[in-house]
Amino acid sequence: MGLRQRRTSCEHQSLRVLLPATCTAAKPNRAAPTGPLWMRKLSPMPENLNDPFVAESAEEAETAVEIAETAPAETAAPAAEFIEAAAPVEAPAEAPAEASAKAPAAVPAESPVEEEEEGIRFVDLGIDPRVLAALQDVGYEKPSPIQAATIPLLLEGRDVVGLAQTGTGKTAAFAVPALSRLAELHDLNGPSRKTQALVLAPTRELALQVAEAFTSYAKHIDDFTVLPVYGGSAYGPQLAGLRRGAQVVVGTPGRVIDHISKGSLDLSELQYLVLDEADEMLRMGFAEDVEQIFQQTPEDRQVALFSATMPGQIRRMSKQYLNNPAEISVKSKTTTGANTRQRYLQVMGPHKLDALTRILEVEEFDGVIAFVRTKMATEDLADKLKSRGFQAAAINGDIPQQQRERTVDALKEGRIDILVATDVAARGLDVERISHVVNYDIPHDTESYVHRIGRTGRAGRSGDAILFMTPREKYLLRSIEKATRQPVEQMHLPTAETVNTLRLGKFADKITETLESEDVAAFRDLISSYEEEHNVPASEIAAALAVMAQGGQPLLVKELPAAPEFQKRERSKDGFGSRGPTRALTEGNATYRIAVGRRQRVMPGSIVGAIANEGGISSAQIGGIDIRSDHSLVELPADLSPSSCVPCPAPGSAAS
């Protein structure tokens, strides 16, 4: 059976949309077409749905870090080994979280023997010097608990199952040992352009983040390439990158399967396979793809599987495809100061700048640090804030050290009020007047979040931490609340009426101040003269001057559209179902028909994964899903263009 022959749904394939000009009317009882799968736009129907999907919250991880040997299914499990690495409670962070570990001892699971070893550092873990140098470049000295427990095992060649929430440092936990081992192979066998490590991630966003991390940690390894491959982007650049050769490939399962089917991704020399956020991949319907990828890899490859939870399907997969894996469980115990109020605001990307502007206008603040993910974003956001009248500056790793020091001094002295920074550039930053930390871009993990908000609420002062997130990212809140041991309350965007009232009041105050302190005689004469010559009322002239004084910036704001709320979906008794109750279409949306349904055992998560990862459509734009016997109805924006969609191959065929 070929790689794609068992694929009976469009769960990881691209979806082709027939736009209104070529659409036909809906026929609910119509049989599915026999050729390629089509997603057809329908006229509005009363049974349409619009409840968006959100991943269910992850179950709680174990408090201790433990390693338990997993025996093959047909034999009794051997006695368990234990390693316990407790994460210290962390005050507002000044440096990476400390980690301590217990030496393993072969003892029964009920009675572990612990021998504590304090102050483990990355230099103690046997990491390749080139990878270690890259860690030091970004300021990492001490591993997190999951890193301290996992890296030595992976360096030994063990398969590992890591149970860890987002925010425990798991990316470095698998990237650092993988790169160390590949660097050694590079030294022994010479450079190879074959793919030696493959990382699977559920979403393109995570795939890009992981690829960036690998690239950062591999920067001192010569002739080394990391390539992300994911749906929703053109095949051409990915095919070219694979032809040139990439030692590490990071991708979403659907696109990885496509490249394997095309022969463009050769896994014959694969040494290292990683599944990141495995439970999320299963929720999105990638289980079959993941198993097919396992079957295409060499039997002697090493596997690292990371998941926030351990559902039965992952447990079965680990027994079937992993070789006697060590199981590690860790719970982040970092926390923040009790005098920092944490809030989150649901806001879509295009509206974040306006949202930040309103918050800065309405809230009383002293100094602010706004965190973004990239160096380019620091400059971009700082420039936009300055154009809106704020005293802002950027700080990132590309800015010379002397200039960074001058910028920090300006913040301390009040010459600037807003610092836009990356995580690395702000590490160790201690400015007492910081009253607000704004997570403009959501951090990669909760550990970074804790470090960020540790910049405020210092020396007994109260602080505010604000997190911008899309509805799709809301599932991360639980991990953040666990890490900080504090609730994160929802904040509401200041209304246009509130902002406009404040702006009008401030503008009136400026007029009063100018009349009292400035010599306006020349302007008064000019207005009088203009009024007589052009027969224009003085009030109209004053209004024109006010517009000129605004410098092209509008005085009044309009209401921003609210971010859509994602609600938990309900499953039907057979496990297949619709995302939410029947209700009217959201304004601006239309219904599209997909020619797969319950007969093809398609799941709501499969449809979400296909559209979001292969169709180039944000999951925030996906509304209700109604799965029928032989087709499904999906609510999507009514104005989708052909460029948003790509052909969907028939079940059982390779993607073209």
Q: Which of 167-171, 481-485, 552-556 has the lowest mean pLDDT?
A: 552-556
pLDDT at 201: 92
Dihedral pair phi/psi, residue 42, rounded to 5°: -110, 160
Residue with tokens 């490249």: 259
Q: List b or e across 238-252, with b for residues whose CB sees 16 or more CB atoms inside 10 angstroms.
A: beebbeeebbbbbbb
Three-state SS at 615: coil
How far is Cα 32 from Cα 36, in angstroms, rounded to an integer?
Answer: 10
**Beta-strand relationship, 367-371 and 418-421:** parallel
Query: Left (φ > 0), alpha (ψ -120 to 50) or beta: where does 266 sit?
Result: beta
CATH 3.40.50.300 fits 67-330, yes or no: yes
Does position 14 have pLDDT exceeding 60, yes or no?
no
Which residues contact residue 244 at a Cβ distance below 8 angstroms, ignoring those fewer than 6 apart? 193, 225
CB 117 within 8 A of CB 100: yes
pLDDT at 395: 92
Dihedral pair phi/psi, residue 266, rounded to 5°: -100, 115
CATH number, span 340-493: 3.40.50.300
- The beta strand positions in 347-391, using DSSP E, are 367-371
Q: Which of 153-157, 243-247, 414-418, 424-428 has the lowest mean pLDDT?
A: 424-428
Number of CB atoms found within 10 A of residue 106's CB = 11
Name the token pair of 311.
């559902």
Dihedral pair phi/psi, residue 367, rounded to 5°: -115, 150
- The segment with the largest mean pLDDT, out of 246-250, 310-314, 488-492, 502-506, is 246-250
Higher-scoring residue by pLDDT: 267, 110:
267
Q: What is the DSSP letter of 81?
A: B
Kindly list the distances between the CA atom of residue 558 and the CA atoms of 491, 553, 554, in Å, as whole numbers in the listed order: 19, 13, 10
**Which residues are bridge partners to 40 per DSSP?**
18, 593
Among residues 245, 240, 250, the alpha carbon closest in space to that of 207 is found at 250
Query: Left (φ > 0), alpha (ψ -120 to 50) or beta: where does 589 sit?
Result: beta
The rounded mean pLDDT for the chain is 74
pLDDT at 96: 35
- Which residue stretches of 485-537 are H helix? 496-517, 521-534
**Intervals of CATH 3.40.50.300 along the chain:** 67-330, 340-493
How far is Cα 324 from Cα 290, in angstroms, rounded to an integer?
Answer: 19
pLDDT at 103: 32
Q: What is the DSSP letter of 426?
A: T
Higher-scoring residue by pLDDT: 458, 14:
458
pLDDT at 310: 85
Is 593 buried (19+), middle (13-18) or exposed (0-12) by CB count in 10 A? buried
Query: How far is Cα of residue 494 from the mean position of the Cα atoms in its chain?
Result: 26
Average pLDDT on 601-613 reads: 79
**Which residues are bridge partners to 102 per DSSP?**
116
Kindly list the distances between the CA atom of residue 63 and the CA atoms of 22, 43, 80, 164, 447, in Å, as whole numbers in the listed order: 57, 52, 17, 10, 16
Kindly list the distances between the CA atom of residue 148 and the CA atoms of 173, 294, 652, in Å, as whole numbers in the listed order: 8, 27, 44
Q: In this structure, which amino acid lies at residue 648?
A: C
Higher-scoring residue by pLDDT: 59, 493:
493
Q: What CA dihedral angle connects 67, 71, 77 and 79, to 10 degrees?
A: -40
How far is Cα 313 from Cα 329, in angstroms, rounded to an integer?
Answer: 18
Name the token pair of 293.
């990828």
Dihedral pair phi/psi, residue 49, rounded to 5°: -120, 155
CB 215 within 8 A of CB 209: no
The pLDDT-based confidence of 237 (bands split at 50, 70, 90) is very high
Q: Which of 12-26, 108-122, 187-201 has the lowest mean pLDDT?
A: 12-26
State the sign of the Cα–Cα–Cα–Cα dihedral 297, 299, 301, 303. Answer: positive
pLDDT tens digits for range 260-285: 999 999 999 999 999 998 988 887 88
Number of CB atoms found within 10 A of residue 582's CB = 14
pLDDT at 382: 96
Q: What is the DSSP letter of 68?
A: E
Does position 108 have pLDDT exceeding 60, yes or no?
no
Which residues contact residue 279 at a Cβ distance below 8 angstroms, ignoring those fewer than 6 apart? 58, 307, 308, 309, 310, 311, 314
- The predicted model scores a pTM of 0.46
Higher-scoring residue by pLDDT: 578, 547:
547
pLDDT at 35: 33
CB 87 within 8 A of CB 334: yes
**Which residues are bridge partners to 17 per DSSP?**
39
How far is Cα 620 from Cα 289, in angstroms, rounded to an integer?
Answer: 24
Three-state SS at 476: helix
Kindly list the distances between the CA atom of residue 219 and the CA atoms of 136, 251, 414, 592, in Å, as whole numbers in the listed order: 12, 20, 38, 45
Does position 23 have pLDDT exceeding 50, yes or no?
no
Among residues 625, 619, 528, the alpha carbon closest in space to that of 9 is found at 625
How far is Cα 335 from Cα 324, in angstroms, rounded to an integer?
Answer: 35
pLDDT at 62: 33
Residue with tokens 């702006």: 503
CB 46 within 8 A of CB 611: no
Which residues contact residue 195 at a Cβ distance below 8 angstroms, ignoring those fewer than 6 apart? 242, 245, 246, 247, 248, 249, 265, 266, 267, 269, 270
Which residues contact residue 456 at a Cβ distance below 8 angstroms, ignoring those fewer than 6 apart? 92, 340, 369, 434, 435, 436, 437, 463, 464, 465
Name the token pair of 504.
């009008």
pLDDT at 460: 66
Among residues 159, 191, 168, the alpha carbon closest in space to that of 68 is found at 159
3-state helix, strand, coil in the chain (%, to 5): 35, 15, 50
Is 394 buried (19+), middle (13-18) or exposed (0-12) by CB count in 10 A? buried
Name the token pair of 320.
């079937």
Does position 161 have pLDDT exceeding 90, yes or no?
yes
Average pLDDT on 289-318 reads: 91
Q: Kind and range of the H or E element at 50? A: none
